[in-house]
Amino acid sequence: MSIAADTADRPLVLIVDDDEDVRSALEELLMSVGIDACSFGSTQELLQADLPERPGCLILDVRMPGASGLDLQHHLASNGNTRPIIFLTGHGDIAMTVQAMKAGAVDFLTKPVRDQTLLDAVTGAIEKDISLRTAARHIKQHIDRYAKLTPREREVLCEVAKGRLNKQIAFDLGISEITVKLHRGNVTRKMQATSVAQLIRIWELLPAEVREKKSP
């Protein structure tokens, strides 16, 4: 199926099920409510496909030939692919459900499934993905902005985030209070924060390994 570029923000649901009938029924149901869907007969097919960066979710059959749905879940997670996963199973296997949920599945539905149940799960998963993506995009911006700070500015930001006063920071860093104020002003501007409180929240959103990097 071709995925046009101008649909980049439209959600796309990826379906993996070895049963062709189930696959096409799922695809058609989603299409009927205006959700783009694309299906694969096996996990290998999915992994080999060139997937567009579009919000959405995965509908996975737990039990398939070759790598199972659970295997795929692990594989995707370890590659940083965060698409929410809805598991479909014919068995309702409790142990498997627990395992999948622990690994981050958003839903676990048993076959046969009601259309509304499935669509609710899909909509929920898509929303979750969109908010996750938005959050991720914001963090990315913060990281990009943080990268533009000088080492001294980073030190000052770190100290500010700890809640220390300007004069304490000045004493610790061996610089004047005025210089600290100058750095703080630069940091707030570069990080595009409107208040100290917001600056601290941005700092906290930064991944730990990013915060550890004192030099660009």
Cα separation, 30 vs 204, in Å, equals 38
Least distance from other proteins to the Cβ atom of residue 1, Å: 17
Asked if 32 touches other proteins (CB under 8 A), the answer is: yes
Beta carbons of 52 and 30 less than 8 angstroms apart: no
**Number of CB atoms found within 10 A of residue 11's CB:** 21
Q: Which two tokens stand for residue 58?
A: 């995965």
118 forms part of the interface with other proteins (CB under 8 A): yes
Q: Which amino acid is at 181?
A: K
Task: Tell me phi and psi for residue 83, to 5 degrees.
Answer: -50, 130
| Terminal CA-CA length for the chain | 43
- 111 lines the binding site for other proteins (CB under 8 A): yes
132 contacts: CB under 8 Å, gap ≥ 6: 82, 84
Which of 29, 161, 173, 182 is close enough to bind other proteins by CB under 8 A?
29
Q: Does 19 bind other proteins (CB under 8 A)?
A: yes
- Rounded to the nearest 10 degrees, what angle do helices 94-102 and 69-78 cross at? 10
String of contacts with other proteins for each residue 41-80, x by CB under 8 A: ----------------------xxxx-x------------
Minimum CB–partner distance for residue 7 and other proteins (Å) = 20
Residue among 33 and 101 whose Cβ is closer to other proteins: 33
Least distance in angstroms from the C-beta of 110 to other proteins: 9
**In the bound complex, what is the minimum distance in angstroms from residue 112's beta carbon to other proteins?**
4
Answer yes or no whether residue 112 interacts with other proteins by CB under 8 A.
yes
With tokens 């989603």, the residue in question is 30
CA atoms of 10 and 65, how far apart (whole Å):
31
Candidates 14, 16, 22, 191; binder of other proteins (CB under 8 A) is 22
Residue found by looking up tokens 């370890």 in the block:
78
Least CB distance from residue 183 to other proteins, whole Å?
A: 56
Kindly state whether residue 85 participates in binding other proteins, applying the rule CB under 8 A: no
Q: Which residue number, 21 or 144, has a Cβ lying nearer to other proteins?
A: 21
Q: Which residue has the tokens 């390994």?
A: 209
Contacting positions for other proteins (CB under 8 A): 19, 21-22, 24-26, 28-29, 32-33, 63-66, 68, 88, 90-91, 111-115, 118
